[in-house]
Structure 1
Amino acid sequence: MAEIFTFPIGRSSQTAGASRAASIEDDRRMTVPSNVLRSVESVRAMRQRAGVIYREIPVPLTLSDYGIGVQIDVNNGSTVHSGGWIMVLYSEQPRTEWRSRWRCVAYGSVRISGSEHNGLTPPMMWDWLERTITGINEETLGGTVSLNRNTSFGSLSDPAGDPPRFDCELRVSWTPLEEKEGWVDAGTQVDVWARFLESLTTNDELEEPISDRE
């Protein structure tokens, strides 16, 4: 049975309604590995970014033995909107495909207008992701990027004749670097994904051709 830890209070699903201090003590009394508890507390202690909204989400029990799920929405006043989620997963038995007991799974989406599109392509987005993400085993990073053009018709069309909008979606997973005691700085992993989603709303570098950014 996986334990789902809420964010940012840190209560497990078995201690809903308890105070923050009491929930931490309850977590310690549960049969949760110490490296998982330490990883959870790194999320509790992480700095939250201004203009970013964080919310705990459940982790499917089939994915891992323990998990931390955080939804992230960027609301910094930009006309470009981005959001997504990240799950930090832990398996009591090492997974060959993860090369670890730990794995991060993340989803991100950015919506931009046609006038802001400027030749955005999946390779350009992936290149930007690789430049932004840190604290990982780089050989384990993999995922997909989808770019969809959305044009409204009929009653949903804009009478002002605005250009079509584009949705760029990323589905990514990677293995985070472990500390010596076998825990991971899950708070940093959450922040890395928040930073990436935040960067998509100010995509000055994404507007440049990849060859010009070296």
Structure 2
Amino acid sequence: MAAAHEPLADSADDTPIPFRQAIEALRATRPRPEIEIEPTPAPRRLAPYAYALQASVTEPGADPEDEDAEPADGRLVLLHDPAGQDAWRGTFRVVTLVRAELEPEMGSDPLLPEVCWSWLTGALEARGVPYGEPSGTVTRAGSYFFGGLGDRQPTTQIEIRASWTPLEGPGGVPDAAAHLAAWCDLLGQVAGLPPAAAPDAAGGVVPLPQRRGPQAR
């Protein structure tokens, strides 16, 4: 992660122990070097307890001016309600947002939304993390340039909004680190990065599109 974090408050903190342990697992996770993660303010109205991270994928020297490029970014929120919520079918919930710009030819693929959703479920399955009640949307948007910007090539943006219930393990604590690792895999996929490590073939991860070329930036 981008910076070290202080430990959670001591036992006087009224935060439930399972949530405290899940947060510690998130804080201890170290993603691949191209992905930078840092804490961000969490939403207050979705659950009694929430913890949020924001992330960006950086490609050194990938910009036409040899500057660093950020082909994808996102946000992950871990929610906890000790009383549970009917829609979750559990006491924890992961809520995510991932955004990326793809090669223009990908934007015309009618199956793009289904493929993007399979990237998410495939990342979770490749990591072997148990989850339930997945839901979400995939939004595709195209940008076309005119006038003084007319020399730019069209671009296609994709946005994946999703949530799922991480199934709880011993002590009522989900494997938060594994869910974060799967989410980082998804970020790397939508950014067009090569796999950091060979995934389990049984996970069935869908092949990825190429990254944006300089002409599409």
Q: TM-score range by the shorter chain?
A: 0.7 to 0.9
1:200 maps to which of 190, 195, 198: 190
Residue among 88, 92, 102 paired with 2:78: 88
- The structural deviation recorded for 1:105 is 0.3
Which amino acid is the alignment partner of residue 82 of structure 1? A
> In the alignment, what sits opposite 1:3?
none
Q: For 1:206, what is the secondary structure of its paired residue? A: coil
Counterpart among 5, 20, 32 of residue 37 in structure 1:
20
2:208 partner amino acid: L
Measured after TM superposition, the shift of residue 113 of structure 1 is: 3.6
Q: Any conservation in 2 of the 1:46–1:187 contact (CA below 8 Å)?
A: yes
User: Which residue among 136, 152, 175 is the counterpart of 2:130?
Assistant: 136
Cα contact 1:70–1:190 (8 A) shared by 2: no
Residue 58 of structure 1 corresponds to 41
Unaligned runs of 5+ in 2: 64-69, 195-206, 211-217
CA contact (8 A) 2:56 2:74 kept: yes
Cα deviation for residue 144 of structure 1 reads 0.6
Residue in 1 aligned with 2:145? 152
Report the TM-score when normalising by structure 1.
Answer: 0.77
Contact 2:22-2:174 at 8 Å conserved across structures: yes
Q: Deviations over 1:96-154 (max 9, x none)?
A: 1000010000001111242565736111211222211242324x111110111111222
Q: CA RMSD in A?
A: 2.4
> Do the aligned partners of residues 48 and 207 (structure 1) sit closer, same or farther apart at CA in structure 2, a change above 3 Å counting?
closer
Q: How does the TM-score come out when normalised to structure 2?
A: 0.76
Identity across the alignment (%) = 24
Amino acid corresponding to residue 156 of structure 2 in structure 1: F
Q: Is the Cα contact below 8 Å between 1:82 and 1:110 reproduced in 2?
A: yes
- Residue 195 (structure 1) shift: 1.2
Unaligned runs of 5+ in 1: 1-6, 11-19, 209-214
Q: Report the number of matched residues.
A: 186
Q: Does 1:48 align with 2:41?
A: no
